[in-house]
Amino acid sequence: MNTDLQFGSGRDREFVFTEKDFERVCRLIYEHAGISLKSSKQDMVYSRLARRLRANGINNFRDYLALLESDNKIEWEAFVNSLTTNLTSFFREPHHFPLLAELVIKQKGRHPLSLWCSAASTGEEPYSMAMTMVDAFGSFTPPVSIVATDLDTNVLAKAEAGVYPVERVEKLAAEVVKRFFLKGTGVQSGFVRVRPELRAMISFRQLNLLSDVWPIRGPLDAIFCRNVMIYFDKETQLKILQRFAPLLQPDGLLFAGHSENFHNAAHLFRLRGKTVYELVKPKSHDHHQVK
Ligand SMILES: C[S@@+](CC[C@H](N)C(=O)[O-])C[C@H]1O[C@@H](n2cnc3c(N)ncnc32)[C@H](O)[C@@H]1O
């Protein structure tokens, strides 16, 4: 097979993008982030990375990929950020949040509680967790700490800022918006900002789920790992699930995305509700720092 052939729409493209280039992109992002790109993603990859070629003043993918492989740290970060998919929303899969509230209400005697949102994207999910905690404890300073992590540094910066266009909250009940968000005025009109009390409950950090070391301290009451495993192959998923299990409290919960299932880790996790898992064999937590 001639792997130097361009894809169908290649002739109209600004930059030469061969099948070999696409395969190189796939290999790099898989090795670094575990993301498996299907061949149907060729156009998406082209358009996202074409911006990086323009930004670097490079006019072909081969040179761009050589730049990346020369271990250019700044471009690596931009490359990774370009290839992640960050779709999210507040209270996405609403059935998860009453279960989270129930879990922490049961634990009210044991403080502080610890939650981890492991693919936080632009922050809607960890802020939904924080709002749920405020409701569960009837206080804007509940004894709960939330760690929100993501691989992508761009989305993490947005999450940390906690500022959203009003359209992002328009599906929420008016009283929820009033209670948890501040409306922008002047140059900020058209935007809302999460209340500082919610922001104070969350610490944001970059974390690659593929890294050997996670700066996460257990035991955790809940791990949200939603809509990120779908980008990983089963082997990678299993490795991550094996590291989640000892981080959880014996009665802790693991929340997955709507199209994800962890049947391949049935020895570790069993279904407790719709896309919510509990430990099969809760273990004692001798090692809370997972390496
Ligand atoms: C589709 S979003 C899911 C956001 C949120 N959890 C939700 O369900 O609404 C997937 C997120 O996973 C992140 N991601 C992809 N690969 C990752 C990795 N190896 N480690 C950590 N986060 C990763 C992406 O940057 C992206 O923000």
Domain boundary among 25, 54, 83: 83
Domain-located, residue 228:
yes
85 Cβ inside 6 Å of ligand 1: yes
- Is 10's pLDDT higher than 80? no
Answer yes or no: do 125 and 220 share one domain.
yes
Q: How confident is the model at residue 283 (pLDDT cuts 50, 70, 90)?
A: low
Domain-located, residue 186:
no
Q: How confident is the model at residue 97 (pLDDT cuts 50, 70, 90)?
A: very high
Answer yes or no: do 132 and 230 share one domain.
yes
159 Cβ inside 6 Å of ligand 1: no
Where residue 46 sits, what CATH number does that domain have? 1.10.155.10
Answer yes or no: do 100 and 144 share one domain.
yes
93 Cβ inside 6 Å of ligand 1: no
Total domain count for the chain? Answer: 2
Domain boundary among 16, 49, 83: 83
Q: How confident is the model at residue 275 (pLDDT cuts 50, 70, 90)?
A: very high
- Is 101's pLDDT higher than 80? yes
Where residue 157 sits, what CATH number does that domain have? 3.40.50.150
- Is 29's pLDDT higher than 50? yes
Q: Pick the closest to residue 251 from 97, 95, 96, 103 (CA basis).
A: 103
pLDDT digits (tens, 9 = 90+) for 123-159: 999 999 999 999 999 999 999 999 999 999 999 999 9
Instruction: Give me the pLDDT at residue 9, please.
Output: 52
- Is 221's pLDDT higher than 90? yes
Answer yes or no: do 52 and 122 share one domain.
no
Q: Residue range 61-71: average pLDDT?
A: 94
Which atom of ligand 1 is nearest to 209's Cα?
A: 20
Instruction: Give me the pLDDT at residue 71, please.
Output: 84
Instruction: Give me the pLDDT at residue 286, please.
Output: 46
- Is 285's pLDDT higher than 80? no
Instruction: Give me the pLDDT at residue 289, please.
Output: 43
Among protein residues, the one with the nearest Cα to ligand 1's atom 23 is 151
State the residue for tokens 């130097």: 4
State the residue for tokens 């809760």: 282
Domain-located, residue 43:
yes
End-to-end CA distance of the chain: 42
Answer yes or no: do 55 and 110 share one domain.
no
Answer yes or no: do 157 and 208 share one domain.
yes
Domain span holding position 31: 8-83
Answer yes or no: do 256 and 112 share one domain.
yes
Answer yes or no: do 138 and 275 share one domain.
yes
Sign of CA pseudo-dihedral 222, 123, 288, 84: positive
User: Which residue among 28, 80, 84 has the greatest number of ligand 1 atoms within 8 angstroms of its CB, and so is best to mutate?
Assistant: 84
Instruction: Give me the pLDDT at residue 3, please.
Output: 40
Q: Residue range 160-170: average pLDDT?
A: 98
Give me ligand 1 centre to Cα 144, in Å.
23
Q: Residue range 29-55: average pLDDT?
A: 96
72 Cβ inside 6 Å of ligand 1: no
Give one word for 239, left, alpha or beta, with left for phi > 0 and alpha for psi -120 to 50. Answer: alpha
- Is 92's pLDDT higher than 50? yes
Strand order in the sheet with 202-206: 202-206, 144-150, 113-117, 220-224, 248-255, 276-279, 269-273
Domain boundary among 17, 49, 83: 83
**For 23, what's the count of Cα atoms within 13 Å in the CB-facing half-sphere?**
8
Q: Residue range 114-128: average pLDDT?
A: 98
Read off the pTM: 0.93
Answer yes or no: do 51 and 101 share one domain.
no
Q: Residue range 255-267: average pLDDT?
A: 95
Domain-located, residue 21:
yes
